Amino acid sequence: MLPLFAHELSQGDGLVGLVVAGAGLGTLLTDLPSGSLVRRMNKRSAMILGITIDALSTLLLFWVDTIWLAIVLRFLSGMGHALFSIARHTYITGAVRTAARGRAISLFGWVLRIGLFIGPAIGGMLAARFGLRLYPLPRQASWQAWCSVSWCLRP
């Protein structure tokens, strides 16, 4: 859905590619600094900050009217995802005993991948019924749910 949404904002396929690649680029450039930030922050706070950045940048796509803003928001989404992922792994490393750590990390990954499967399907159904503008909402809603769960886990 993202390439179709981006194509509505621009006639250039190269710019559509930048929208699609934006989150990956944001993650790539933010992974190492995220590790340093997580080391200095509370791990749960870092997870919540990462989820919040990702969720807000995704939600703002709903109102985007230029391709360049979509590229920036996708980059920010990747930054938030990098912070969340690094903080999540660090949190699991400290909270789960060594023997169960691999299972815990794979369970978190499994849940996120279910969302990667279900989210686009729901987004596609919404887009078919109501137009491409609604495509970001299922992803944003899932991140908001993660944010709420993470907030509830705070001591």
Whole-prediction pTM: 0.81
Tens digits of residue pLDDT in 102-141: 888 888 888 778 877 777 787 788 888 888 776 666 666 6
CB within 8 A of 122, min separation 6: which ones?
Answer: 138
With beta carbons less than 8 A apart as the criterion, state whether 140 and 55 touch: yes
The count of residues in the chain is: 155
Cα separation, 135 vs 39, whole angstroms: 35
Sequential DSSP letters for 28-86 = HHHHHHHHHHHHHS-HHHHHHHHHHHHHHHHHHGGG--SHHHHHHHHHHHHHHHHHHHH
Class (C level, CATH) for 2-152: mainly alpha
What does the pLDDT look like over 9-20, one tens digit per residue?
A: 887 888 999 998
| For residue 150, pLDDT beyond 70 | no
pLDDT over 60 at 153, yes or no: no
What is the model's pLDDT at position 147?
A: 60
**Residue 80 pLDDT > 80, yes or no?**
yes
Q: Show the tokens assigned to 134.
A: 């609604």
